[in-house]
């Protein structure tokens, strides 16, 4: 989607004692479940028994897109979170898309998502040819060995987004006509407290009816965490340098090790708001007029920044490989591989061996 510094992390429960501090900042939650019924909105676990109050006017501060085609709810759920989080870094194309669709109704937003932007992936792109697979299974009958044709049909899943906007938690369900307010919150980092009741009600209902579900948290990825730490170090480095400039006119001649990165006023505000710099700041304060200690702290910040930049480059390469593996279509390879096994006469032997193994496992 053109978003940098974010990832999806699975969380298993949303009990009262869980505060998810170890996840860091949570941009939004995605509730994914296996649908029982058709994708019409009138299915188990979706809007049955829903008592949401209709609204006369859509909230101006909440971006929301309906689902107008199948195989789009995953993309829409993430998009509905991303475009409601100004602190996330998005590329120019997504910025222009948000600006262009800001005043459009939810259904039009979804239409543009699915038809106008080639960068928006649908669920089917990550479930390559799942609905088109046909399997020939070798079976043994009284008349000998034959073949049975099995068509593998993709299962239907639905994704619902939960996101904080201006002190209020919202449920953004592409199959519902409008955003649903779940209540206000006072703690920005624990906004999900306002959504606990709704999410837990779904979980409890799914547990009773044995419906499969997953709860995902959209959080900062390793790149985002590293980049935040770099900004923290840049802030402490600048404070240390300002202090050294007042204490000595020649310290730069002796300590020339430096790193050239942009650090803006906006960066400084974000660092202060996050508050992760406090420990280093307390160390700097405790050094008073000790030039050597302040220089040592500054050097430590420079070394940390350089190390993090190297880790970021490694992580970027790893993510590119991961993306290629996740989106690559391996089906032609497997078809060709199985065809070769069949031509060599090895496939039937392997199937028999697998059946024997299954029988032994069942017996055990």
Active-site annotation, residues:
73, 158
Among residues 7, 110, 115, the alpha carbon closest in space to that of 63 is found at 110
For helices 106-115 and 73-82, give the axis angle rounded to 10 degrees.
Answer: 110
List the structure tokens of 28. 């939004």
CA pair distance 108, 114, nearest whole angstrom: 10
The residues near 233 (Cβ < 8 Å, ≥ 6 apart) are 280, 301, 302, 304, 305, 308
CA pair distance 244, 250, nearest whole angstrom: 9
Under 8 Å between Cβ of 303 and 255: no
List the structure tokens of 337. 């591989």
CA pair distance 194, 292, nearest whole angstrom: 49
Task: Indicate the burial class of 140 (C-beta count within 10 angstroms; 0-12, 13-18, 19 or more).
Answer: exposed
Task: Indicate the burial class of 338 (C-beta count within 10 angstroms; 0-12, 13-18, 19 or more).
Answer: middle
The residues near 191 (Cβ < 8 Å, ≥ 6 apart) are 26, 164, 169, 185
């Amino acid at each position: 989607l053109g978003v940098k510094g974010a990832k999806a992390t699975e969380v298993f429960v949303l009990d009262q004692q869980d505060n998810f501090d170890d996840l860091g900042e949570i941009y939004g939650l995605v509730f994914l479940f296996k649908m029982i019924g058709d994708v019409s909105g009138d299915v188990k676990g979706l809007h049955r028994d829903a008592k949401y109050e209709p609204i006369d006017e859509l909230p101006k501060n909440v971006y929301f897109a309906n689902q107008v085609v199948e195989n789009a709810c995953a993309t829409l759920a993430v998009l509905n979170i991303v475009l409601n989080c100004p602190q996330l870094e998005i590329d120019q194309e997504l910025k222009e898309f948000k600006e262009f669709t800001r005043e459009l109704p939810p259904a039009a937003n979804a239409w543009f998502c699915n038809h106008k932007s080639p960068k928006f992936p649908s669920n089917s792109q990550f479930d390559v040819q799942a609905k088109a697979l046909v399997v020939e299974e070798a079976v043994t009958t009284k008349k000998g060995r034959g073949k049975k044709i099995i068509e593998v049909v993709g299962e239907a899943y639905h994704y619902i987004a939960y996101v904080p906007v201006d002190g209020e938690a919202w449920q953004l369900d592409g199959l519902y006509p409008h955003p649903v307010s779940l209540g206000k919150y006072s703690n920005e980092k624990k906004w999900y407290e306002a959504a606990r009741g709704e999410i837990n009600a779904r979980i409890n209902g799914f547990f009773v009816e044995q419906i499969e579900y997953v709860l995902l948290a959209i959080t900062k990825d390793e790149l985002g965490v590293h980049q935040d730490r770099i900004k923290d170090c840049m802030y402490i480095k600048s404070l240390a340098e300002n202090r050294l400039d007042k204490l000595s006119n020649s310290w730069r001649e002796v300590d020339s090790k430096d790193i050239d990165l942009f650090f803006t006023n906006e960066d400084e505000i974000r660092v202060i708001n996050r508050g992760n710099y406090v420990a280093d700041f307390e160390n700097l304060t405790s050094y008073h007029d000790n030039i050597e200690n302040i220089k040592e702290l500054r050097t430590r910040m420079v070394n940390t920044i350089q190390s993090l930049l190297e880790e970021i480059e490694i992580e970027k390469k790893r993510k590119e490989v991961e993306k290629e593996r996740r989106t690559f279509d391996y089906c032609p390879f497997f078809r060709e591989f199985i065809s070769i096994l069949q031509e060599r006469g090895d496939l039937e032997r392997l199937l028999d061996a697998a059946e024997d193994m299954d029988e032994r496992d069942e017996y055990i």
